[in-house]
Structure 1
Amino acid sequence: MSFHDDHGLACTGADADSAAHYRRALHQFRCYIEDPVASVDAALALRPDFVMAHALKAWLHLLGTEPGAIAVARDCLAAASRLPANARERGHLQAIGALVDGRFRQAGRVLEEVAIDHPTDALALQAGHLLDFYVGNARMLRDRIARALPAWSSAMPGYHAVLGMYAFGLEECGEYVSAEAQGRAAVEIEVRDGWAQHAVAHVMEMQGRERDGIAWMRADPAAWSTDSFFRVHNWWHLALYHLELGEIDEVLALYDGPIRGERSTVILDMIDASAMLWRLHLRGIDVGTRWQQLAEDWAPFAAAGNYAFNDVHATMAFVGAERLDLVDTVLETQHAAIQGEGDNAAFTREVGQPLTRAIRAFGQRRYAETVRLIRDVREIAHRFGGSHAQRSVLDLTLIEAALRDGQQALAVALCNERVGARPHSPLTRLLRQRAAPLRVAA
């Protein structure tokens, strides 16, 4: 049995009723809302031979980088592999198999081929887009979507998501005017599109438009936060603006409320919590027992070793809580990961392990070592994933380490870098004021 979806793509094993649940799951995933796993499970309950429903369930588990979810994805792959499938569906399964084995880049390449042949395959575009993010490939974040965009129109379901992904890719390539326009257009079509909302937030973050960003995020927070599994990250973006402006009380209120109030142990949510507390730590802000609570929740993942970007953010929490035993566990696990065959071996060797050591050195007040380690990998840090906004914490850590180590000329030079993007931010002015006297004293 084969059923054709809203874009004319054949879906082996589907019928009208199961396809309705699958369609709902795709919409939920595009907007990052509600429970797409429950929806796809409903599709599979009706049609266990629905190949793309198995594939979607696998993607939903794989694309959060949760180590425990890999087994679920492997089971989905095994179930789907026993079923008849068309070429497009086999492409998805091949890509899932690659990612289950830790081969991020190969999975992305297979999905690239799927989308070239089937540019209206929104799932192939979205999964590929997220893989481009995880490997730090800014060009493909943009161009994977640009290739498919002419096949889409505003009359097609999911068009908003394509615009939102394109907006984020444009932003990561520095094309801010176009990125903002595409992101705003996506939100106008679908107000609950959390990814498009966040793409515009990224533009304003990169341009140093903190007040614009606050206005954008606070205009309709219910739209992008209600029943959204992407809400923590978008609240984090709002907190970043307030932090840049020195509005610490607002930052702590957001941290204790929508960012961390539910004490989520979802890795992507804990990354945001670590990144925010570390930025506060760099500014000398006493965060009380927040570090200890976060480190406790990160502790079960200290030996995960499946994605270096996660390791570095776990290390921030462990250093903040003075749990150097857990930092040692991360480093031991990274040593083993480097010997592996998946892409994370390179992510860890080239970027993740040096940054883990840099964060540990900062916590031990060995600031010269922090400076050296971050400078060694700063230009290639995109290779372990994340966005420009997320990786800016490395620049802030480098500046602070240089200041604390008395490296006056370097501190001034790094502050001057920041002026270009954020000439009016209070944090930039504060850093320059701290750096300039050091240079005069020298």
Structure 2
Amino acid sequence: MKDLRGEPISTQNAGSLEIFERALHALNVYRGDPVAIIDEALALEPDFVMGHILRAHVQVTMWERSVLPAVNESLARLGELGNRSNDRERGHVRALSLWAAGDWGGYKDSLDRLLVNHPRDLLALQAGHLSDFFQGDRETLRGRVARALPFWTRDDPGFGLLHGMHAFGLEECGSYGAAEEAGRHAIDLDADDCWAQHALAHVMEMQARQAEGVAFMESRQANWAQDDNGFQFHNWWHTALFNLDQGHHDRALDIYDRGIHPQPTEIQVMLLDAVALLWRMHLSGIDVGRRWDDLASTYAKGSETGFYAFNDMHAMLTLVASGRQPEAAALLRTIEDMSRADNTNGMMTREVGLPILHAILAFGAGRYAKVVDYLMPVRYRAALFGGSHAQRDILHRTLIEAALRAGDRSLAHALAHERIALKPHCPFTWQLHQRATQ
């Protein structure tokens, strides 16, 4: 049989295929629970190869240690089903096996090779797109979708989603006009495309269109903040950033409480946005009450320590901001030991993660000149450990604040001018400039 986009799929059960398409759509649009949906297909057909593949990819998109048992369980089952699998499916299994082994670059590249022969494989496109993001590979983030788009037509299920993904890749590569065009085309095709919404928010963030950004997010809130939308927390984060950079601190905190971190969670991708907003406020001396405490309690458990360097940075930010210097120092020692691993995260940690962790720990200890020493050499290489420009801006803000507190006005002034060149209309940037010139 073939899926709705004409890609081969090893099943003769129309019911399994129909459920697969529902689960894939749930994954694509971040609505509902794709694992629960695909489990319906696996109950109907336990040997459904693409069902096990989709289930594993959904787990991988969390990008945290806690999913490894589920991924390995799926891989074990897929190993038993090798003689039932087609070439496309075997390509997915190879990629997933590399991810489980810690070779995230191999996972990303294997999906790229798979898409050369199967450019209409929507699961491979989305899994690869997210992998590009988690590894900071902005060129592939853009190019992966660009290579596939000519093989799609407007009538293909999921066509609009490709434009939303392409928009994000274009934005991360600095092509803001093309990114906005692609993002708006995507939401014209599907008003509820929350990934395209987020790509457009990134464009407005990078162009310092804060007031327009707030209006854009609020006017379309019904399209991206549905109760079952698993990505709404990140779009709330963008809304909060737009408010924060205009000086609307109370609004940003209200958004934090309602949308970004409404209840305790241990899901890493959800914690990141909570930490990133509070740290920006911490740098500005804004009182956030006891909001750090819940985050610190979660990170202090250490269950995800040393798995993904970008997450480790946020753990360190939390422990430092909450005044847990001994725990922060212990975290650094643990990650130094784990950085010797011969895998993708070991490389990320050695190259950029450790200097950044040292910088954050130094910031908490008031050793601001050391913060500058640690961050200056890595600030332009930080994409190596993933995230977006908007997310990594936290490093540039920390660097400028450290320069100001260290009394290095010349450096702070130079860095402020650098920001002004990129975001000449951002009120926060001009506040930094004013502080540097006082």
TM-score (norm 2): 0.97
Cα displacement (A) at 1:135 = 1.1
**3-state SS in 1 of match to 2:212:** helix
Q: Hey, what does 1:137 align to over in structure 2?
A: 137
- Using the TM superposition, give the Cα deviation of residue 21 of structure 1 relative to its aligned residue in structure 2, in angstroms: 1.1
Q: Counterpart of 1:223?
A: 223
Partner of 1:389: 390
Where has structure 1 moved over 6 Å in runs of 4 or more?
none
Find the aligned partners of 1:290 and 1:404 in 2 and give their Cα distance. Answer: 25
* Contact 2:11–2:17 under 8 Å retained in 1: no
Any idea what SS the aligned residue of 1:153 has? Answer: coil
Equivalence for 1:198:
198
Secondary structure of the residue aligned to 2:229 is coil
3-state SS, counterpart of residue 9 of structure 2: strand
Q: Which segment is superposed worse, 14-23 or 246-255?
A: 14-23
Write the letter of the residue equivalent to 2:319. Answer: F
Which secondary structure does the structure 1 equivalent of 2:377 belong to?
helix
2:9 is equivalent to residue 11 of structure 1: yes
Q: What residue in structure 1 maps to residue 212 of structure 2?
A: 212
Letter in 1 for 2:314: H
The correspondence of residues 167-186 of structure 1 with structure 2, limited to 5 A, is 167-186=167-186
Structure 2 alignment gaps of length 5 or more: none
CA distance in 2, matches of 1:15, 1:304: 42
The residue number in structure 1 matching 2:356 is: 355
TM-score normalised according to structure 1 size: 0.97
In 2, Cα distance between the equivalents of 1:189 and 1:303?
A: 38
In structure 2, the residue corresponding to 1:301 is in which secondary structure?
coil
Is the partner of 1:377 in helix, strand or coil?
coil
| Preserved CA contact (<8 Å) 1:6 1:157 | yes
Equivalent pair of 1:11/1:50 in contact (CA under 8 Å): no
Match of 1:319 in 2: 320
How many pairs are equivalent?
Answer: 435
Answer yes or no: is 1:39 the counterpart of 2:23. no
Gaps of 5+ in 1: 438-442
Counterparts of 2:12 and 2:42, CA distance in 1:
9
Alpha-carbon distance change, 372 to 14 in structure 1, aligned in 2, over 3 angstroms: farther
Instruction: Name the CA distance, whole Å, in 1 between partners of 2:307 and 2:245.
Output: 32
* 1:420, distance to aligned residue in structure 2 (A): 1.6
- 1:345 aligns with 346
CA deviation map 1:196-215 (0-9, x unaligned): 11001000000111111111
Q: Give the distance between the partners of 1:272 and 1:303, measured in 2 at CA.
A: 16
Q: What is the 5 A alignment of 1:181-330?
A: 181-226=181-226, 227-301=228-302, 304-330=305-331
Distance 1:195 1:310 in 2: 21
**Who is 2:69 aligned against?**
71
Deviation at 1:173, TM superposition (A): 0.4
CA distance in 2 between counterparts of 1:426 and 1:303 reads: 36
Q: 1:56 to 1:329 in 2, by over 3 A?
A: farther
Q: 1:293 offset after TM fit, Å?
A: 1.4
1:13 and 1:81 mapped to 2: Cα distance?
Answer: 17
Question: What amino acid is aligned across from residue 314 of structure 1 in structure 2?
Answer: A
2:430 is equivalent to residue 429 of structure 1: yes
- 1:216 CA drift (Å): 1.4
Closer, same or farther: CA 303–170 of 1 in aligned 2, 3 Å? closer
Which has the higher mean CA deviation after the structures are superposed, 420-429 or 63-72? 420-429
User: Partner of 2:49 in structure 1?
Assistant: 51
Per-residue CA shift, 1:71-116, capped at 9, x if unaligned?
A: 1011001101211211110010000000011111100111001100
Percent identity, please.
45
Specify the code of the residue in structure 2 equivalent to 1:17: G
Bigger shift: 428-437 or 397-406?
Answer: 428-437
CA contact (8 A) 1:275 1:313 kept: yes
Q: How far apart in 2 are the matches of 1:290 and 1:14? A: 52
The Cα offsets for residues 207-260 of structure 1, whole Å up to 9 and x where unpaired, read as 111111111111121211111111111100000111111110111111111111
Alignment of 1:385-424 (within 5 A): 385-424=386-425
Is the contact made by 2:65 and 2:304 (CA closer than 8 Å) also made in structure 1?
Answer: no
